[in-house]
């Protein structure tokens, strides 16, 4: 195969094809990227690829033709002389070099996309398009073609079906899938162009930690593409999905289909919806059901749901067989911007919230913004509290963005939601990367608890029954934290009023009085004393010197907290 390898080296310096005139503008999603066309023999990769290149005004290359030109012999001769493995090695090197150059349209041979290293290069350098055809269409197109080495010595239909079984689950990892029939090539080309125009690369950011790193992927329709997104990240195409009854009815069928498309096998564990499932009893039940399913150490646990499901499933994944691969698929805004990122998992106990758990990082987070359309407006608003909180802690520009676009986020604007999630997750990723296990007592992850000391006390008073959502408690807590900061002389009163005004503007409770419940200051402080953030018996608060200037304090006089709560409407 040396001749093929030598030919590949020469290809790196070859002049590109002349760009055709009168081409359509390249879609924004393709700017600076190549297009790779994949599919089985007979799918029309070369004919469609050539037409697509002409329409986009890009050069066209056919990987098989380039190999033949470099080697000086045909593909069947290469298979015969050197074997398939040597051919694939040369093919891989050629593809890498072509995609490393200027944008082009590149048609792959039928087996090229099967190579994991090649797929990794394609994900980085190109947008991949799978021309998906049914068996009858393919058989009609390849019948009688003697130049196809893989069709020699057998029935074409049987061979093609076997190849479909082997390759279609891998082709399904392509970015764009276009179903092709017997329509003319120009019609298929138009279908591909329409799909490319509609395609949007999901937003991505990386959480970089000492122990590991993983991507947070944000976009519309990610559950439908779950198998394609997970296959490169997981060691086994087997998973157990942990979800709740509400989410299962809404999103489990979509996830099942998205996994099956790439030949994942999956079973499910469905728990009751609500905070009550975040308990030690539920944890033990999920653990036993994972073991009943005979999971292996490479079997993934997928958390499909909100923060309760993510925390519960993550804790079970962390402790089953001393750790199973874990995937977060948050379906609420609260989980997408907060609990799914950072690796905190756990359950509540009778002593308080999140008192049993573990730090356990996911392999990947898929935040599908399409799931937000199914949320009740109250839950969407509650999740938004954790979103703009990031701006209050350390990103004043982000809070200003939230003041401008917050109404669009809670109003269901998917573009605004995607950008808000990206910004909030990017902020949290930076904080977690600097303090993965919350070991910096006065900064780092501790700052993410802004508003939480008050919020958790309110949740505990409600008994985690759902009468008060976590984000609603945090929203009230943020206002109280800023007002406490003002009382202690740390913060300008105008900043506190600005925070409370924004909380109110997006429909969240900004005052204790709006919760329509009477609270005792002494009782709330008692809940605070049982919070896991208590240090040496002293209450610990995250306060602020202004918007984006949070800090921790352990010297807050209890009398000041008591006075604040009583002025907010609490009894003694």
- What burial class does residue 221 get, using C-beta atoms within 10 Å of its C-beta: 0-12 exposed, 13-18 middle, 19+ buried? middle
The three-class DSSP label of residue 21 is coil
Please provide residue 359's backbone torsions phi and psi, each rounded to the nearest 5 degrees: -80, 120
105-107, strands of its sheet edge to edge: 60-62, 105-107, 34-38, 126-133, 176-180
CA dihedral 396, 403, 449, 496 (to 10 degrees): 80
The span from the CA of 28 to the CA of 524, in Å, is 53
CA 508-365-166 angle, to 5 degrees, is 145
The span from the CA of 408 to the CA of 399, in Å, is 14
The catalytic site residues sit at 322, 344, 386, 428, 438, 445, 449, 452, 456, 470
Please provide residue 330's backbone torsions phi and psi, each rounded to the nearest 5 degrees: -70, 135
Q: Which residues contact 325 (CB under 8 A, 6 or more apart)?
A: 234, 235, 236, 298, 299, 300, 301, 317, 363
The three-class DSSP label of residue 508 is coil
| Residue 116 tokens, joined | 């994991």
Rg (Cα) of the chain, in Å, rounded? 28
Q: What is the DSSP string of 432-489?
A: HHH-TTS--TTSGGGGGGTTHHHHHHHHHHHTTSSSS-HHHHHHHHHHHHHHHHHHTT
Strands 364-368, 541-544: pairing kind: unpaired
Q: Which residues contact 489 (CB under 8 A, 6 or more apart)?
A: none
Please provide residue 266's backbone torsions phi and psi, each rounded to the nearest 5 degrees: -145, 140
Q: Which residues contact 128 (CB under 8 A, 6 or more apart)?
A: 35, 36, 37, 38, 113, 122, 173, 174, 175, 176
């Amino acid at each position: 195969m040396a001749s093929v390898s030598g030919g590949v080296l020469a290809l790196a310096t070859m002049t590109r094809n002349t760009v055709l005139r009168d081409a359509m503008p390249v879609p924004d999603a393709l700017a600076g990227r190549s297009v790779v066309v994949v599919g089985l023999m007979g799918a029309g990769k070369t004919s469609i690829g050539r037409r697509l290149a002409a329409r986009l005004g890009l050069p066209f290359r056919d990987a098989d033709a380039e190999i033949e030109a470099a080697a000086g012999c045909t593909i069947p001769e290469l298979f015969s002389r050197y074997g398939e493995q040597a051919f694939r090695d040369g093919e891989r090197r050629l593809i890498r070099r072509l995609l490393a150059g200027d944008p082009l349209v590149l048609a792959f041979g039928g087996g090229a996309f099967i190579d994991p290293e090649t797929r990794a290069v394609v994900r980085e350098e190109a947008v991949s398009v799978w021309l998906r055809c049914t068996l009858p269409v393919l058989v009609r197109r390849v019948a009688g073609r003697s130049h196809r080495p893989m069709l020699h010595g057998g029935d074409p239909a049987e061979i093609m079906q076997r190849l479909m079984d082997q390759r279609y689950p891998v082709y399904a990892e392509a970015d764009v899938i276009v179903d092709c029939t017997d329509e003319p090539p120009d019609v298929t080309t138009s279908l591909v162009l329409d799909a490319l125009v509609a395609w949007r690369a999901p937003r991505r950011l990386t959480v970089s930690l000492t122990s590991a790193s993983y991507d947070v992927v944000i976009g519309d329709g990610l559950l439908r593409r779950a198998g394609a997104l997970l296959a490169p990240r997981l060691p086994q195409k087997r998973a157990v999905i942990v979800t709740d009854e509400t989410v299962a009815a809404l999103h489990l069928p979509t996830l099942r289909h998205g996994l099956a498309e790439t030949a994942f096998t999956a079973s499910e564990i469905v728990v009751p919806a609500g905070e009550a499932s975040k308990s030690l009893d539920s944890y033990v039940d999920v653990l036993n059901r994972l073991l009943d399913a005979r999971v292996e150490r490479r079997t993934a646990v997928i958390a499909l749901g909100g923060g309760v499901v993510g925390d519960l499933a993550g804790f079970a994944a962390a402790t089953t067989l001393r750790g199973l691969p874990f995937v977060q698929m948050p379906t609420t805004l609260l989980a997408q911007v907060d609990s799914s990122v950072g690796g905190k998992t756990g359950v509540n106990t009778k002593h308080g919230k999140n008192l049993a758990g573990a730090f356990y990082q996911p392999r990947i987070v898929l935040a599908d913004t399409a799931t937000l359309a199914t949320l009740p407006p109250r839950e969407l608003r509650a999740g938004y509290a954790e979103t703009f909180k990031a701006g209050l802690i350390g990103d004043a520009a982000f809070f200003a963005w939230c003041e401008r676009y917050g109404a669009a986020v809670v109003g269901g604007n998917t573009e605004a939601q995607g950008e808000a999630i990206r910004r909030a997750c990017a902020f949290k990723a930076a904080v977690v990367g600097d303090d993965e296990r919350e070991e910096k007592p006065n900064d780092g992850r501790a700052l993410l608890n802004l508003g939480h000391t008050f919020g958790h006390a309110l949740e505990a008073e409600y008994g985690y029954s759902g009468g008060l959502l976590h984000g609603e408690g945090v929203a009230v807590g943020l206002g109280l934290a800023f007002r406490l900061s003002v009382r202690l002389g740390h913060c300008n009163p105008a900043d506190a009023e600005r925070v409370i005004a924004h909380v109110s503007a997006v429909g969240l409770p900004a005052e204790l009085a709006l919760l329509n419940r009477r609270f005792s200051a002494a009782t709330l402080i008692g809940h605070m004393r049982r919070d896991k953030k208590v240090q040496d018996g002293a209450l610990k608060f995250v306060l602020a010197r202004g918007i984006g200037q949070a800090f921790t304090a352990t010297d807050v006089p209890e009398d000041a907290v008591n006075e604040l709560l009583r002025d907010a409407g609490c009894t003694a």
